[in-house]
Amino acid sequence: MAMAKELLKNAREKPCTLLYPFEKTAPPEGLRGKHVFVGEKCIGCGLCARVCPAFAIELLGGRGPKMSGMKVYLGRCLFCQQCEEVCPTGAIKLTTDYELAVLKQEDMVLVFERKPPEAKQPKKE
């Protein structure tokens, strides 16, 4: 009769599910979600692309100062956070944004731009 008690108890309670698009729970701190990229911090070392187990990161324009941006293929990404872990300057980070559904296939690719550090280049030359 243990089950009968539980059934009566649950009949009085609200459903434990949420009406998702209208009600949301806050994601826990540290959830691995969508990427952000801070172009100013990036030094173009390309470590993130080298360690990525799913080959989801593509550097645009090659490594080093000539790197003009970065493509992150969300469809391939495993959200393992290894890119964030190896980044020496903290330029790539995962946020807690977990709503990744998109309508077009192109939107599955995040394109980040990076301006080559202009202030530093004249000094080198």
Work out whether 99 is an interface residue with another protein (CB under 8 A). no
The binding track of 35-74 with respect to another protein, each residue x by CB under 8 A or -, is ------------x--xxxxx--------------------
CB-nearer residue toward another protein: 2 or 119: 2
Query: 123 near 77, Cβ under 8 Å?
Result: no
- Separation of alpha carbons 82 and 80, rounded Å: 5
Please classify residue 1 by burial: count the beta carbons closer than 10 Å to its beta carbon, then call 0-12 exposed, 13-18 middle and 19+ buried: exposed
Nearest distance from C-beta of residue 50 to another protein, angstroms? 7
Binding-site size, another protein (CB under 8 A) = 24
Q: Yes or no: say if 72 and 56 are a contact pair by the CB < 8 Å rule.
A: yes
* 3-state SS, residue 93: strand
Nearer to another protein, 45 or 117 (CB): 45
- Figure out which of the listed residues 28, 105, 119, 120 binds another protein, where binding follows CB under 8 A: 28
